[in-house]
């Protein structure tokens, strides 16, 4: 009796979606634009126009609509029936809660950075503020705001914990906008750079507890500032 050879297993491959690439490109472009915009710098809601986005990106409205669906699932935008799609803006209470979570995550990252980061990596933190050795940060709030954001992102990265990086990435869009607004209020730019220099000194000295405490206190100071001066939806 002849034994029939077993058929070779077949790969289970679904048809390629021809719109997948355009959808991802649209998603990346819209998310980047939202991340970089001044969400809290003005009182009006930010409405996204599918038609305008389609024209700006040079693609049909289908990948735009699909990209916006993904962004809504991730909490970047919200769809309001009969009104349209809007960039999500948090209430004052929600913002303060986010800052508290960021304080916990970044302070732990600073502790890890003091233990793990190389001398060269820590020294690089000082270069973030090179232009402000001769320029006053309060006189260049937009430029200093960008440097400030890079500083905090770098501390998170130097901690070397991928999960902390991923968790702070989800908060970044709002934290970036909140810090940008606060830099224009109540002389925070000048006081901020003083805190940063103390944090860098603690990291350079490998003072683990001091680095963790200074970063936490610095971010909690932002929470207190928002509580007192922030102008956000209640």
Q: Is residue 43 part of a domain?
A: yes
Q: What pLDDT score does 10 carry?
A: 47
Are the C-beta atoms of 125 and 200 separated by less than 8 Å?
A: yes
Q: Is residue 11 part of a domain?
A: no
Same domain assignment for residues 115 and 217: yes
**Sign of the alpha-carbon dihedral angle for 175, 180, 183, 184:** negative
Question: Which is more confidently placed, 8 or 35?
Answer: 35
Question: Which is more confidently placed, 15 or 147?
Answer: 147
Same domain assignment for residues 100 and 53: no
- The domain in which residue 83 lies consists of 21-87
Same domain assignment for residues 28 and 58: yes
Please identify, among 60, 87, 114, the residue that sits at the C-terminal boundary of a domain.
Answer: 87
Report the 10 Å Cβ neighbour count for 34.
18
Q: Is residue 34 part of a domain?
A: yes
Assess whether pLDDT exceeds 60 at residue 70: yes
Same domain assignment for residues 217 and 105: yes
- Side-chain-facing half-sphere of 191: CA atoms under 13 Å: 13
With cut-offs at 50, 70 and 90, classify the pLDDT of residue 186: low
Assess whether pLDDT exceeds 90 at residue 190: no
Same domain assignment for residues 201 and 179: yes
Same domain assignment for residues 123 and 220: yes
Q: What pLDDT score does 163 carry?
A: 95
Same domain assignment for residues 202 and 103: yes
CATH number at 202 reads 1.20.120.530
User: Token pair of 62, please?
Assistant: 């289908």
Q: Is residue 4 part of a domain?
A: no
Q: Is residue 26 part of a domain?
A: yes
Are the C-beta atoms of 37 and 84 separated by less than 8 Å?
A: no
CATH number at 47 reads 1.10.10.10
Same domain assignment for residues 109 and 218: yes
Same domain assignment for residues 215 and 178: yes
Same domain assignment for residues 176 and 223: yes
Q: Is residue 13 part of a domain?
A: no
Please identify, among 87, 106, 129, the residue that sits at the C-terminal boundary of a domain.
Answer: 87
Kindly state the greatest CA–CA separation across the chain: 91
Please return the burial class of 17, using the count of CB atoms within 10 Å of its CB with bins 0-12, 13-18 and 19+.
exposed
Same domain assignment for residues 67 and 110: no
Assess whether pLDDT exceeds 60 at residue 229: yes
Q: What is the C-alpha to C-alpha distance for residues 72 and 85, in angstroms, rounded to an integer?
A: 9
Please identify, among 36, 67, 87, the residue that sits at the C-terminal boundary of a domain.
Answer: 87
Q: What pLDDT score does 16 carry?
A: 41
Closest by Cα among 97, 36, 28 to 68:
28
- Tally of domains within the chain: 2
Q: Is residue 3 part of a domain?
A: no
**Region 51-70 average pLDDT:** 91
Same domain assignment for residues 219 and 152: yes
């Amino acid at each position: 009796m002849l034994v029939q050879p077993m058929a070779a297993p077949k790969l289970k491959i679904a048809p390629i979606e021809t719109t997948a690439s355009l959808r991802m490109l649209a998603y990346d472009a819209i998310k980047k634009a939202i991340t970089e915009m001044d969400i809290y710098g003005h009182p009006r809601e930010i409405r996204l126009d599918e038609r305008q986005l389609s024209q700006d990106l040079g693609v049909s409205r289908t990948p735009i609509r699909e990209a916006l669906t993904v962004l809504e699932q991730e909490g970047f935008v919200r769809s309001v029936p009969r009104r349209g799609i809007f960039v999500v803006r948090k209430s004052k209470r929600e913002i303060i809660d986010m800052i508290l979570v960021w304080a916990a995550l970044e302070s732990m990252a600073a502790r890890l950075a003091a233990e793990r980061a190389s001398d060269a990596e820590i020294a690089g933190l000082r270069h973030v503020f090179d232009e402000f050795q001769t320029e006053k940060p309060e006189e260049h709030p937009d430029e200093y705001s960008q440097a400030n954001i890079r500083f905090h992102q770098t501390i998170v990265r130097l901690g070397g914990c991928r999960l902390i990086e991923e968790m702070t990435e989800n908060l970044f869009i709002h934290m970036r906008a909140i810090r940008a607004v606060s830099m224009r209020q109540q002389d925070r730019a000048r006081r901020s750079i003083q805190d940063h220099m103390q944090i860098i000194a603690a990291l350079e000295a490998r003072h683990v507890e001091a680095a963790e405490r200074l970063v936490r206190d610095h971010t909690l100071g932002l929470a207190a500032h928002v509580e007192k001066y922030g102008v956000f939806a209640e």
